[in-house]
Copies of this chain bind each other. A is one copy, B any other.
Amino acid sequence: MSFCHGLRLLYSQLSLFSKELNRPWYRYVSNSLALSSEKRASDFSSFVARTNTCGELSSAHVGQEVTLCGWIQYQRQGLFLVLRDFQGLTQIIIPQDEVRTVLYDAPVESVVRVTGTVISRPPGQKNPRMPTGDIEVKVKTAEVLNSCKKLPFEIKDFIKKSEALRMQYRYLDLRSFQMQHNLRLRSQMVMKMREYLCNLHGFVDVETPTLFKRTPGGAKEFVVPSRLPGRFYCLPQSPQQFKQLLMVGGLDRYFQVARCYRDEGSKPDRQPEFTQIDIEMSFVNQAGIQRLIEGLLQYSWPNERGLITTPFPSMSYAEALAKYGTDKPDTRFGMKIIDVSDVFRNVEIGFVQNAVVKPQGSVKAICVPQGATHLQKKDFESLKESAKSQFNQEVLHLILKPDESLKSPLSKFLSEEQQSELIQALKVQADDVVLLAAGEHEKVCSVLGNMRLESANLLESRGLVLRDPTAFHFLWVVDFPLFLPKEENPAELESAHHPFTAPHPSDTSLIYSEPAKVRSQHYDLVLNGSEIGGGSIRIHNAELQRFVLETVLKEDPELLSHLLEALKCGAPPHGGIALGLDRLICLVAGAPSIRDVIAFPKSFKGRDLMSNTPDYITPEELEPYHIQVAWPASEAEANKN
């Protein structure tokens, strides 16, 4: 259920309210909010003036006097109103006396408290689709606790407004069913994770500082000026150094639901502050961390999302790249990349030959099932244009016609045998489309991985279902390279993940001779094609860590001298992982954006539209921090005038 759909259901058509009561969304609300009352012990009305929430009264309560607090969802003057709180809706009947006067003028979204008696609805007026549909409350006393003076817009028009408007009035947006559901789901899932880690497996929840030192190469770290002239804190991207130091300190098993910061400027669906489930263990290996995380997710997984099975499948980085063209394969559907170099080795096409004779050269293809039926000429053009613009790579397409012949400019260069080999290799069926590219292995894989996802999007936009939206496919991706050539200077190496990652045990000696060939003990956790976590076994040997920093990465080890010192003082072998909580909850909730699982998100430009953050502050306020604004020339000019 999409966010907008949820909003629509809650807010739309208030004028058709009585009709609305008979629609099935009440059942949905009821089922989903049952999540909150899963733990029977939860008392939602302790310490406050109400006796019940608006979602829990039923025939069993008939005759009881109850007090409810909530918002007026709908009211017909002097007859009845519908009261809403976080748990549901209850119909309130207003008798012909002074109570009617109290409630008569109260606008929609006003906050009221009512006390009255639970009565059965008259025969024929029960609503079996509404959790409280068997009863209504006949009011004795009522009080308007706060009249809704103004709504910035008609709430029923809310869904037509931009996301910017939702963000500006986030406190109204939060009243929607979907946001209530998402935030409660998040809270409950994190609570289960804590129970698993802390209560079942002896982890210690340790808070680490967020005012820290700049890390080497930490270009994405926010800076925080201190009162010491010229000296700055930085907001770290993760508690990486601290968690390793905690292992050196003998904490043994650490976790934290950690706030992290990353300044990436404007990026869609990224947040300048985000949350990770941060974990580190001593005396553990890769398999140990993997089993822990599988158990953690299984334990905390919401019932409403079905069961997940463990262990999760595992795939090497090399295989993920070769078969899916990415390090985060969406394994919910096929269309894998197939190497067809052998078919084309003797084909006399210039660009194919150019590709095949080179080292790492190859011809690869994917088969788009029923592509000829569902895709049009302009789709193929757009796919090819995308390959060209993103990867500077030509992609050809071939269609297998119902008469088993291949339709393509390429066909004439292929013998019947070669055509047949191609069809067999890709298991092509009538009306399938083959997308084919030739060139260097990694590049061809990447472009076809991209074509695979774009084709899937196109097919799904035409009504096919390739990726089951209720399926959750977890995958470990392992055996990453430890180092990668730097983009700006491929002769130099940089860490594929971070400089603390330990080499693969089989490759340790290679690090001194051929570091570019060393695999790491890094592992990523992928869910439905999104990376939701990553971690590694760390280097615990001070000499190896210094060698990596100084000799391989050519970085100044002085910036990490405290960590190098710590490794000399009896550091245990250790490793860990971090799960991206916002992304994970977003996938579990089926939300379109991580902004829908964060209470007060920033816009993609890093702004809070509700409060107009970030904002200007005065030079006097900057004085204690010994900084001043360096206005860009244009603005300095403007300010002068």
Contacts and interface: CB of A to CB of B under 8 A. Distances in A.
Interface of A: 36, 39, 41-44, 46-50, 69, 71, 85-86, 109-111, 113, 145-152, 169-175, 179-180, 183-184, 186-188, 190-191, 194, 198-202, 204-214, 219, 222-235, 241-242, 245-246, 248-253, 259, 261, 263, 265, 272-273, 275, 281-285, 288-289, 291-292, 540-542, 562, 565-573, 598-600, 602, 606, 608, 610-617, 621-632, 635
A569 B183 contact: no
A171 B566 contact: yes
A113 B283 contact: yes
A69 B572 contact: yes
Given A207-B599, A222-B224, A611 B42 contact: no
A613 B561 CA distance: 13
Contacts of A175: 249-250
Given A213-B612, A249-B175, A600-B208, A283 B233 contact: no
A265 to B, nearest CB: 6
A171 B564 CA distance: 12
Given A229-B629, A230-B635, A242-B600, 18 more contacts: A43-B202, A48-B282, A86-B252, A111-B571, A146-B541, A149-B569, A169-B565, A172-B569, A174-B248, A187-B205, A211-B613, A222-B233, A223-B225, A233-B614, A249-B599, A626-B630, A626-B632, A628-B630
Contacts of A171: 245-246, 248-249, 566, 569
B570 A226 contact: no
Contacts of A242: 599-600
A611 B202 contact: no
Contact of A233 (B204, B229, B613): B613
Contacts of A272: 211
Q: Looking at A41, A211, A213, which has the most chain B CB atoms within 10 Å of its CB? A: A211
A42 B201 contact: yes
Contacts of A172: 249, 569
Among A202, A253, A573, chain B packs the most CB atoms within 10 A around the CB of A202
27 contacts: A43-B201, A44-B253, A48-B282, A71-B570, A85-B250, A86-B252, A146-B540, A146-B541, A149-B568, A169-B569, A171-B249, A174-B249, A174-B251, A191-B194, A207-B598, A207-B599, A209-B600, A213-B611, A213-B613, A213-B615, A223-B225, A225-B225, A232-B615, A233-B614, A259-B259, A562-B611, A627-B629
A215 to B, nearest CB: 10
B205 A263 contact: no
Given A110-B570, A289-B47, A232 B614 contact: yes
Contacts of A629: 229-230, 626-627
Contacts of A213: 608, 611-615
Contact of A207 (B71, B259, B635): B259
B212 A611 contact: yes
A125 B405 CA distance: 89
A204 B36 CA distance: 10
Contact of A252 (B85, B259, B541): B85
Contact of A49 (B253, B283, B289, B614): B283
Contacts of A41: 199-200
Given A205-B187, A224-B222, A631 B571 contact: no
Contacts of A610: 245, 562
Contacts of A227: 263, 265, 606
A614 B231 contact: yes
A202 B198 CA distance: 20
A375 to B, nearest CB: 41
A44 B614 contact: no
B148 A283 contact: no
A489 to B, nearest CB: 19
A77 to B, nearest CB: 18
A183 B205 CA distance: 8
A608 B210 CA distance: 11
Which of A150, A223, A225 has most chain B Cβ within 10 Å? A225
